[in-house]
Amino acid sequence: MGTLIDVRLEALAGRGAPAFSPELIAGAAIAACDTPTQSCRTRDPAAALDARTFYLETFGCQMNAHDSEKVAGFLLGRGYRQVETPGEAQLVLYNTCSIREKAAQKVFARLGDMKIMQGTGKWIGVLGCLAQQEGEEIFERAPWVSLVCGSASYRNLPGLLADLEGGNQRVAGLDTDTDETFETELTRRDNPVRGYVTIIEGCDKSCAYCVVPSTRGPERSRPSASVIEEVRQLADSGFTEIQFLGQTVNSYRDPSSRRMSFAELLAAAAGVAGIRRVRFTTSHPRDFGRDIVEAIDATPQLCEHVHLPVQSGSTRVLRAMRRTYTREEYLEIVAMLKSARRAISLTTDIIVGFPGETDADFEETLSLMDVVQYDGAFTFAFSPRPSTDALRLPGAVPEEEKTARLAILMQRQREIQQARNAALVGETFEVLTDGASRREGQWAGRTSSNRVVNFASAGPVLLGEYVPVRITKAGPNSLVGERVI
């Protein structure tokens, strides 16, 4: 895969160097710009003081990480250069998360640290969900901040930045009333082997616990031709795996006259020359149709993995959460996935301690986990968030109870994963190598089902190489194997 395959991980590991050399990370995507981290570290320190420098730190989910890739691409295209520390940068950006209170607290702590930058003439910017949630109040709370911008306003970044460059002290982009998506000519790619492609932004669901509809705005899908063009560009620059992103990715509605369905879009991406793997996340059960399963069955390039958040196993709690499906309806989708010809792995998100959740409701979540046998689960204690409907619900579950339920849930899921992974010992999987393993002398990668595999190899292994690996050992969170010659 173009420049990527020239990297011998063995050599990198031997030098004790980071697993990836940034020069190799983005292939052609970064070749066009004055690039990234590693080269910046070795620059003349005097040069680091130039006005067109930025530092960007990201908090939160995959969508935020990819938004940061796009913001970085936009800045690089504008002649900015990325630096390693806030101290070196003229523009210091935090792309923030507010999904749970802890995430928001972490951001506020970081902004507090930035007080020492007051009066230095730097521009400190807060992007993302916390920016949208707190709005211009951030200027009151942290007067050293000069830019506040939510993700639905990123398309206005050129104007906002021009205002800053023109001497404006405080600029804000907080409009969420839009039908546009954020598209950049250049996207700086941080993941060496997986190219992310946003196909839908925002969220029109209204789950009672969730800030996303208010922080990311309404659902906006990209025209299918623009999505496929980006996939083509990624393939041309050496990526063989892509991942479609969206808060509710399968709610995709092609706004163009082609009217491609989500399943058709998946198949079209899989058909792009050079693409060997297509993933997508996150799916919402309400819009999860049989056509998606049929597409996965019919198209080997579509990965055999679906992330389908259930949130609770109790219909009563699901109704209070406004998830729009019952336990039974969710299990019907699971049955459909399990009846597929391919072994589609299934992962989920679960919240415990939602207001009103009783012991019996919690038991239903545990029993659902037993029935479904997830291959992975992200589990969370309910965290009350500003401007969400759950704030008004009675029956708050005490923190100790939430913690206790979370521990039980995690232990149960760990046992399930251990058993499911153990059943794979002796099988051989194609692994896409994405780095050196933390285990000495080994490499790491992922199967089509998104399982992490650490493996040994007699010969050299290339970054981005597909390697057949026989599984010899299984843990709850990863597999161990040997390259099959």
| Chain residues that interact with ligand SF4, rule: CB under 6 A | 203, 205, 207, 210, 212-213, 247-248, 284
* Cα dist from 106 to 61, 102, 113, 215, whole Å: 14, 6, 11, 17
- Exposure string of 313-323, with b = 16+ CB inside 10 Å and e = fewer, is bbbbbbebbeb
Query: Is residue 373 exposed (0-12), middle (13-18) or buried (19+ Cβ within 10 Å)?
Result: middle
What is the closest distance, in whole angstroms, from the C-beta atom of residue 387 to ligand 5AD in the complex?
11
Q: Which is nearer to ligand 5AD, 90 or 383 (CB)?
A: 383
Instruction: Classify the C-alpha dihedral 70-71-72-78 as positive or negative.
Output: positive
What is the closest distance, in whole angstroms, from the C-beta atom of residue 390 to ligand SF4 in the complex?
11
Enter the tokens of residue 83.
Answer: 């630096």
Which does residue 247 touch among ligand SF4, ligand 5AD, none (CB within 5 to 8 A, set by kind)? ligand SF4
Enter the tokens of residue 370.
Answer: 């037993």
Phi, psi (deg, nearest 5) at residue 53: -125, 145
What is the closest distance, in whole angstroms, from the C-beta atom of residue 207 to ligand 5AD in the complex?
7
Q: Which is nearer to ligand 5AD, 209 or 455 (CB)?
A: 209
- Provide the CA 456 distance to its chain's centre, in angstroms: 28
Which does residue 194 touch among ligand SF4, ligand 5AD, none (CB within 5 to 8 A, set by kind)? none
Three-state SS sequence of 295-322: HHHHCCCECCEEECCCECCCHHHHHHHC
Which does residue 382 touch among ligand SF4, ligand 5AD, none (CB within 5 to 8 A, set by kind)? ligand 5AD
Q: Which is nearer to ligand SF4, 118 or 206 (CB)?
A: 206
Phi, psi (deg, nearest 5) at residue 338: -75, -20
What is the closest distance, in whole angstroms, from the C-beta atom of residue 200 to ligand SF4 in the complex?
11
- Provide the CA 156 distance to its chain's centre, in angstroms: 23
DSSP 119: T
Q: Which is nearer to ligand SF4, 125 or 285 (CB)?
A: 285
What is the closest distance, in whole angstroms, from the C-beta atom of residue 134 to ligand 5AD in the complex?
16
Which does residue 205 touch among ligand 5AD, ligand SF4, none (CB within 5 to 8 A, set by kind)? ligand SF4
Which does residue 248 touch among ligand SF4, ligand 5AD, none (CB within 5 to 8 A, set by kind)? ligand SF4
Strands 91-96 and 123-127: parallel
- Exposure string of 61-82, with b = 16+ CB inside 10 Å and e = fewer, is bebbbbbbbbbbbbbbbbebbb
Q: Which is nearer to ligand SF4, 203 or 296 (CB)?
A: 203
Q: Which is nearer to ligand SF4, 75 or 200 (CB)?
A: 200
What is the closest distance, in whole angstroms, from the C-beta atom of residue 383 to ligand 5AD in the complex?
4
What is the closest distance, in whole angstroms, from the C-beta atom of residue 104 to ligand SF4 in the complex?
15
Enter the tokens of residue 216.
Answer: 């990311």
Instruction: Name the residue with the smallest CB distance to ligand 5AD.
Output: 349
- Count of C-beta atoms within a 10 Å radius of residue 115: 11
Closest to 466 measured CA to CA, from 439, 431, 440: 431
Task: Find all residues with CB under 8 Å of 277, minimum gap 6, and list them.
Answer: 240, 241, 242, 301, 303, 432, 448
Round to whole Å and give the CA distance between 150 and 212: 11
What is the closest distance, in whole angstroms, from the C-beta atom of residue 258 to ligand 5AD in the complex?
30
Phi, psi (deg, nearest 5) at residue 475: -115, 180
What is the closest distance, in whole angstroms, from the C-beta atom of residue 374 to ligand 5AD in the complex?
13
Instruction: Classify the C-alpha dihedral 158-58-241-345 as positive or negative.
Output: negative
Q: Which is nearer to ligand SF4, 205 or 316 (CB)?
A: 205
Which does residue 156 touch among ligand SF4, ligand 5AD, none (CB within 5 to 8 A, set by kind)? none
Which does residue 402 touch among ligand SF4, ligand 5AD, none (CB within 5 to 8 A, set by kind)? none
What is the closest distance, in whole angstroms, from the C-beta atom of residue 283 to ligand SF4 in the complex?
10
Q: Which is nearer to ligand 5AD, 215 or 457 (CB)?
A: 215
What is the closest distance, in whole angstroms, from the C-beta atom of residue 102 to ligand 5AD in the complex?
10
Closest to 174 measured CA to CA, from 206, 209, 134, 203: 134
Q: Which is nearer to ligand 5AD, 358 or 387 (CB)?
A: 387
Which does residue 454 touch among ligand 5AD, ligand SF4, none (CB within 5 to 8 A, set by kind)? none
Which does residue 213 touch among ligand 5AD, ligand SF4, none (CB within 5 to 8 A, set by kind)? ligand SF4
Which does residue 372 touch among ligand 5AD, ligand SF4, none (CB within 5 to 8 A, set by kind)? none
The owner of tokens 């972490």 is: 106
Q: Which is nearer to ligand SF4, 75 or 208 (CB)?
A: 208
CA angle 153-155-160, nearest 5°?
A: 75
Q: Residues interacting with ligand 5AD, by CB under 6 A? A: 99-100, 209-210, 309, 311, 349, 351, 380, 382-383, 385
Q: Which is nearer to ligand SF4, 207 or 263 (CB)?
A: 207
Which does residue 152 touch among ligand SF4, ligand 5AD, none (CB within 5 to 8 A, set by kind)? none
